[in-house]
Structure formats: C-alpha cells, structure tokens
Amino acid sequence: MPKSQPIAVVVLAAGKGTRMRSDFPKVLHKAAGRTLLSHVLHAAAGARPQRTVVIAGPDMSAVGAEARQVIPDAVIAIQEKRQGTAHAVGMAQDGLKGFEGTVLVLYGDVPLIRTETIRALAEAVNDESPLAVLGFRAANPTGYGRLIQNRSGRLIAIREELDTTVDERRIDLCNSGFIAVTAKFLWQLLPRIDNNNAKHEYYLTDLVGLTVAEGSQVALAECPEAEVHGVNTRAQLAQIESLLQARYRQSAMDNGATLIDPPSVFLSADTEIGKDVTIEPHVIIGPQVRIGDNVEIMAFSHLEGAKIADGVRIGPYARLRPGAEIGRNAHIGNFVEIKKATIGEGAKANHLTYIGDATVGARSNIGAGTITCNYDGYDKHLTEIGADVFVGSNTALVAPVKVGDASNIAAGSVITENVPEHALAIARGQQAVKPGWAKRYREMKKARKEKKGKA
C-alpha cells in the first residue's frame, strides 16, 4: 500500500473518568491550557486526515463541541453502551462510510502523541500488513499488555498481563492501544471479535490474532514510552502536565528563548515565543499568547490571551488578560493589569495601574495608581488615550472618555469629560490649609483622654 494512502482518524473519547472523581468527561480535563482531547486532535490534524470521527458517550455533548473547536467537520458518534474498544470503533462505521484508506484508532486521553508518530503508524500499513500496532519499550512493563513476536520478529499476538507466561512477562515491548488498519480489513474483521473474556467486552486488541489467522502480517511501529502515557487519575494528569511543560520549555529554548529557571515557568500548548526572549522565574503563560522578539518578561507575571510586540518589557508581577495588545518597546511594570486594551509603541505603564477596555497611544506615560473606570455596573465603556499623553499618578479616567494627543492630566484627577489635545486637565478638589489645626487637635484629644482617666 503506498504511503500516499488517505487516512481517517477515530478518536475514542467516551470514558467517564470515574477514577478522577469528576463530573466532567475525562478527555475534557486540561493540561498546558488545552483539553486532553484537543491535544490528540491537534496531533491528528497534523497528519491531514480526510475524515475524523470522535466517539463520545450519550451524555457528553461537550465532548463533541470541543472536538469541533479543533476540527469543525468532525463526525461525532455516540457509544450508547460502553462495551469495549472494538465496540467503540464499530460506532464509527457510519461516519466512515465510503472511506477506503487507512483508519487510525487513537485515544482521547493520551495527549502526548505526536503527529510524526501518527504518520509513522499509518505508513507502516501496506499490502502485506493491513494492520499496524504502535508499541513502546517500557522501563517497567508491569500492568501493560505485551506484544508477542515470533522468531522472525513478526508480531503475532497481544497478551494481557494476566494471561502471560513467566517468560512473556519479561518482555518490555508493550501495547499502546493505537492501531492503523485498512478500512476494508477493519470492517471485515471487527464483527468477528467476541466478548468471551472476564469483562465481557469487545477488545480491539483481538484484531492482531484475527489478522494472523487470516494469513496476513501485523506491522509494528514504535515510539517513546512517555508519548503514550494515558490519564486515569488526577495524579496522572499532573504527570502529563509536567511532561508537556518539559516539552514546551525545551522547544522554547531550542528556538532562541532564555528561561532563567525553566521548571518555574509554565507555558501553554499554543504559546508562541520569538527569539532572544528572556523569561524570568515564576511566569505563567496561559492560552493564546504570542510573544515577539527581544521581549523581557520579568518574574511572577501572568499572561493570557495577549499579543506582545518586539522589544517589550513586562513585569515583574504584571498581569495581561485576554485582548491585551502591547506595542513595540512598550513597558508594562509591576502590579499593572491590562485587559482588552491596546498599548501603543513606546508607551509606559510602570506601576500599580489598571487599563481595561482602552487604547493608549504611542509614547504615552501612565502614572502610578491610574485606573480606567470601564464598567458602570451594566456595560463596559471605552477609554481612548492619544499619543504623547502624560497621565499623572492616582488618576481615574471614567469611561467613555477621550484624552487628546500630547495632553497632560494632573495627578489625583477624576476625568469625566473629554480632554482636547495639548491641554492640561485638572479635576480635583481645591487644597485648603489650616495653620495650627493639627496641634490644637492633638491637644484636644490629649485633654479628653486625661479627663476620662480621672473619672
């Protein structure tokens, strides 16, 4: 079978995740800012399948919705009764009607699988081997099904550990569960699988024995053990998070970023980082963050849904929320929060500031303690700050309001009306000074205290 053979993907995602003690389907739990199912579907999409079918449970509409976020034309098939992996794959038959290429069966709770591995598994299928199995060498094979080979190295069976002999238990070549099989062969053999086993379920692994019995060969593809780790418990979810973070940190450093303390930096699956970026310790980068070149992100900053242009400095202790767009060479300093706002080139907000639902023009300086009052209890409103504006410390800008180019806002002002360009706006109460008042007040308080003590 030529390597150009079209492929289809079936993702098994009907597991409830009972051992996770959760009301959510197992595959919708997240690692590195992305659901387990989304990780698998992104890897599968890289192999460019002609069709994708996701098998969900009858009470899992959210699984189908998540699948279509990644692959809009994915077919969602429902496994009404959970009767094993072979039974689940059978639910995909209508969604694959008329498809004549190679079908790959993947698992929605195995998020570390790579596109390259999926392609290699598909390419292992040929005319002599209509079925291919993905195996791995386990450091400790206990608990895994073993891949049994004959003296020629041909795969002849998958043996569950309870059924293995003493010699077979020494085998470290284990079954991942992933397979690739020609559609014709799959639909020919699937009805022959029975549930004559302890759990009375229909196991996809029985395809191996049936294929050998047909006189055909079973191909073997291998991958690293870590790539096929599944998730059944919260502890395993934490392990997957750790493995994904190690992968993403390494990729960031390989591509020109400096991570001062890699284990303390958390990235997301879709994080984009340019070259010559420095990330200090204890930085968390959530989903949908794009970082340009020559950016410095200082310690204890939290970013999500943000676009950061070249030459920007962020933090320490800064927070960028969804919709934050930071222009070239801008500075966002300590305890500054930006939400749904565009900060112009070279602009600065260096201390203790909230900018939300706003635009800040190039080279403007936002003083410490400034806030944009964007919410009136019912609706959000826009603050527009022009270029070359100086906003004094402790200013409140009550939206909707516009501040013109090259204007100044006096410190401590509450701005409720538009400010024209090149103007000075002062909106604060007039200072009154009463000489000697503090001394008289202290003497009065002291006298009252003494009188109370004598009473």
Active-site residue set: 351
Residue 5: how many CB atoms within 10 A of its CB?
A: 15
Distance of CA 110 to the CA centre of its chain: 15
Rounded Cα gap, residues 439 and 433, in angstroms: 13
Task: Mention every residue, 6+ apart, whose C-beta is less than 8 A from residue 295.
Answer: 274, 277, 278, 308, 310, 311, 312, 313, 314
Measured CA to CA in angstroms, residue 166 lies from 140, 161, 170, 305 at distances of 15, 10, 7, 54
Tell me the DSSP string of 206-219. HHHHHHHHTT--EE
Please state, in angstroms and rounded to a whole number, the distance separating the CA atoms of residues 206 and 412: 75
Give 375's DSSP letter. Answer: B
Cα 21 to Cα 24: distance, rounded to the nearest angstrom: 9
Per-residue CA distances from 408 to 399, 402, 430 (Å): 17, 12, 18
Phi, psi torsion values for 454, nearest 5 degrees:
-85, -20
Taking the alpha carbons at both ends of the chain, their separation in whole angstroms is 106
Residues 6+ apart with CB under 8 A from 319: 301, 302, 303, 336, 337, 338
* Token couple for 365: 């300086």
Q: Are 120 and 7 in contact (CB under 8 A)?
A: no
Evaluate the omega torsion of the peptide bond into residue 316 and state whether it is cis, within 30 degrees of 0.
yes
Alpha helices in 226-342 (DSSP H): 234-254
Is the distance from CB of 359 to CB of 377 less than 8 angstroms?
no
Residue 361 CA: distances (Å) to CA of 65, 68, 272, 331, 387: 39, 38, 25, 13, 4
